[in-house]
Structure 1
């Protein structure tokens, strides 16, 4: 809970060292200030620093903030801001991160100043090379560090050095096998990968998606279609609404467009294995992009096979289950491709592989389904309206994977039907009424028995429209 949203006034001195000059930006419970380091006032060093304040009485958030600072303080790279100090101020009831002040313009601002609001391929390769190097550096840490919010507005071109710097590590995390993260509240539409929606795991593939989405926007001048909308449309309309980059800007070479598409696949396992592989495909000739993992022909064959499979799914439950599989584990690549097409390092690195088997047809037929209780209660956050309310599932009935019951929430009540699978994924649909469209809920059954995920309204074609957000439920006695 935020204790106060009022920023510190100019002239405030912290720790008898950092004098606040002005606010650089704020969001949520954090504020970033420009401050002078009085200890460096008589030195030749630049004495300006950026001071990030977390103002909250939530101890879990404070511990995460301190952890973030310790992790980032270890990093040394020209395209990452230096972290000087992390400390708590009991008088201010805040935690502070003291970091290098990066003066310059972000790539989103610079893009909008370009002709047609986009850069040429050569310009994008030049601008993004330092960011690629920085991301590779992060991923090669032990354990790997995942940024999870790469986008043009988080890339600063320094005024004096013309050096690109990747900023805003507010949602950075150390990657741990079997770790599960919940990050939709941090996910930037258009740049966030589908696994960032709900309580699903993220890894290096998440940053690869964001890097590709960033390059896509810089090259075309268009924000990529949001991953959640893409996944829903693929299921409902059997097409991906993301337009290939070269169809928007004919000057973009087809091999670059193809590399962007692959890096932004809904399925994590269909993306490149590493940032190095992605950048090699973008920056080299078409002949050099026929990768170690899959040839373009194999990828296209997999896509065709996936589309044929979707067409065969005629029941609502099957379609909903398919969307859950796409969003949760990217297992369609496994279900419709031979095991040899998956790079061996995925099994060693992926957060999904070690914890649970992929939900293939065989696994679903033999593995037990998660058992649901008869009633749940919790919160439903409507991100489209910035509102939060209560949600309940009652009279829950379960017949193996099939579930049903009664739903209340967001000024609505009605019966629901849905499915759970052997990998603990749950999908629920609340039927349409004369006044309201159907509601679609996707999520997971956690090991503690709680249900978490995301939701949206659907139109007649099953495409997400209108209200959307997060939900989290706990069993009730």
Structure 2
């Protein structure tokens, strides 16, 4: 479609986005020579009447509102092509990059920048929610917020775009409610079809959490429905608490509206204290030794857990079969018996790994030790070291990473849980500890902070 002229006026220059039955195009208005955005809704086999209702509502909303940080309504018309009939909505073009695109390009946002973004979006929401009837965006997320004209310490101008999910409060009482929004940024009440002005506050809070952590809100751990992000950011106490209130799952505990949230943001101190790290867990079995010249912690055996029964049964069956297989292969003529023996070696490796997965939690211990000249990580069982010691010069330690518990997609597209990790980097070598039966996520948090303080290195919080 590049080069086509829509409505005898708008020449398509670029396809910006494409969904089922919908396209977003960048075009040039041949009358004004200005760039514009054209949204097309196509009446095709993929067409759904619900999409028409939302499309027309977006056009009516943009026509009704006027705000410098919201794209202007320019035109709305029918357009016929060989592929069918279309509806076109034309709006002004914002020349900038979305927050999502900025994060993907490697940009990091400081707390001051996050507050600036929050302040400017809240000003937009004060306007939208103050209209009669109030207008609720319903889909605030990083891809729908655009930054332009960045300069100095300012993030630049902030725009809120894509009103395709917009809802007026008055419309709630007229017919059925369409559940729209983006998973991870939608508050609980929106899943039930209910939206109020505070629903946009939750979405804005989740967006800011994504910018501060680099992790999609849906992949962050939750406690009683609340997004748990504070352990993996370096945000101040005041701003952290403000974000927690913005994203409260219960409407009763969230800010009532944008005005209230904006006032609370303005009252935060200019210089906020960092979040106080957790103290040593009271029930930890980890033995930590710190002196001026030595940092050492030893993780003792975790003991028996019920999951070992299933692993033990499978390991017994697996290794029994291998014994039978190798015993049978002894009677085969040479060199076939040798081929059978070599073939079974990888399977013996798997069998031994399963046995170690049972024995090490019962009898093994892990020790990380740093002295003035080296760092070493050892694994011992019954006093015998069963793997090569990883040793590096102390002066090569240049980074400490903390990877929070999160989920990610595996090769099959299924979401899997990734445990919290502590990684000490010494050049290209890494010394890694993961949360498991022997060490909890809270103990990982504690050790990461202790090690960071002792080495005098900042704790880098990231996601693999």
Q: Is the 8 A contact 1:30 1:52 kept in 2?
A: yes
Cα root mean square deviation, aligned: 2.8
Residue 52 in 1 paired to residue 39 in 2?
A: yes
Structure 2 distance, partners of 1:260, 1:58, is 37
Distance 1:106 1:118, change over 3 A: same
Residue 147 in 1 paired to residue 150 in 2?
A: no
- Offset of 1:261 from its aligned partner? 1.4
SS in structure 2 at match of 1:11: coil
- Offset of 1:63 from its aligned partner? 4.1
Residue 65 in 1 paired to residue 55 in 2?
A: yes
Q: Which moved more, 1:170-179 or 1:153-162?
A: 153-162
Residue 82 in 1 paired to residue 72 in 2?
A: yes
Residue 98 in 1 paired to residue 99 in 2?
A: no
SS in structure 2 at match of 1:39: coil
Q: Is the 8 A contact 2:146 2:159 kept in 1?
A: yes
Please, which of 185, 188, 197 is the counterpart of residue 191 of structure 1? Answer: 185
Q: Is the 8 A contact 2:239 2:268 kept in 1?
A: no
- Offset of 1:225 from its aligned partner? 3.6
TM superposition score normalised by structure 2: 0.52
Distance 1:248 1:183, change over 3 A: farther
Find the counterpart in structure 2 of residue 19 from structure 1. Answer: 11
Q: Is the 8 A contact 2:98 2:144 kept in 1?
A: yes
Structure 1 distance, partners of 2:50, 2:183, is 26
Structure 1 distance, partners of 2:99, 2:112, is 15
Distance 1:181 1:255, change over 3 A: farther
Structure ID, larger Rg: 2
User: 1:315-367 CA distances to partner (integer Å, 9 max, x unpaired)?
Assistant: xxxxxxxxxxxxxxxxxxxxxxxxxxxxxxxxxxxxxxxxxxxxxxxxxxxxx
- Offset of 1:283 from its aligned partner? 3.6
1:205-216 superposed matches below 5 A:
205-216=198-209
Find the counterpart in structure 2 of residue 440 from structure 1. Answer: none
Structure 2 distance, partners of 1:151, 1:141, is 22
Find the counterpart in structure 1 of residue 161 from structure 2. Answer: 167
Find the counterpart in structure 2 of residue 284 from structure 1. Answer: 267
Q: Is the 8 A contact 2:119 2:265 kept in 1?
A: no
- Offset of 1:165 from its aligned partner? 0.8
Residue 127 in 1 paired to residue 107 in 2?
A: no
Distance 1:253 1:140, change over 3 A: same
- Offset of 1:83 from its aligned partner? 1.0
Residue 204 in 1 paired to residue 197 in 2?
A: yes
Structure 1 distance, partners of 2:55, 2:266, is 36
- Offset of 1:213 from its aligned partner? 0.9
Distance 1:96 1:160, change over 3 A: farther
User: 1:211-245 CA distances to partner (integer Å, 9 max, x unpaired)?
Assistant: 11112222233332479x95xx73xxxxx562242
- Offset of 1:127 from its aligned partner? 2.9
- Offset of 1:166 from its aligned partner? 0.7
Q: Is the 8 A contact 2:57 2:166 kept in 1?
A: no
1:78-477 superposed matches below 5 A:
78-91=68-81, 92-114=84-106, 118-159=108-149, 162-176=156-170, 178=173, 182-184=177-179, 186-198=180-192, 200-225=193-218, 230=222, 234=224, 240=225, 242-245=227-230, 247-250=231-234, 252-285=235-268
Distance 1:119 1:141, change over 3 A: same
Distance 1:83 1:283, change over 3 A: same
Deviant stretches of 4+, over 4 Å: 57-60, 179-184
Q: Is the 8 A contact 2:185 2:207 kept in 1?
A: yes
Structure 1 distance, partners of 2:201, 2:142, is 14
- Offset of 1:59 from its aligned partner? 4.5
Q: Is the 8 A contact 1:191 1:226 kept in 2?
A: no
Structure 1 distance, partners of 2:257, 2:54, is 27
Q: Is the 8 A contact 2:25 2:39 kept in 1?
A: yes
Q: Is the 8 A contact 2:54 2:164 kept in 1?
A: no
Matched positions, count: 262
SS in structure 2 at match of 1:111: helix
Distance 1:10 1:138, change over 3 A: same
Distance 1:54 1:160, change over 3 A: farther
Distance 1:285 1:130, change over 3 A: closer
SS in structure 2 at match of 1:190: coil
- Offset of 1:50 from its aligned partner? 0.6
- Offset of 1:111 from its aligned partner? 2.8
Q: Is the 8 A contact 1:262 1:271 kept in 2?
A: yes
TM superposition score normalised by structure 1: 0.50
Distance 1:138 1:178, change over 3 A: same
Distance 1:122 1:179, change over 3 A: farther
Structure 1 distance, partners of 2:213, 2:162, is 24
Structure 1 distance, partners of 2:187, 2:215, is 17
Structure 2 distance, partners of 1:108, 1:154, is 8
Gaps of 5+ in 2: 271-408, 410-464
Distance 1:264 1:160, change over 3 A: closer
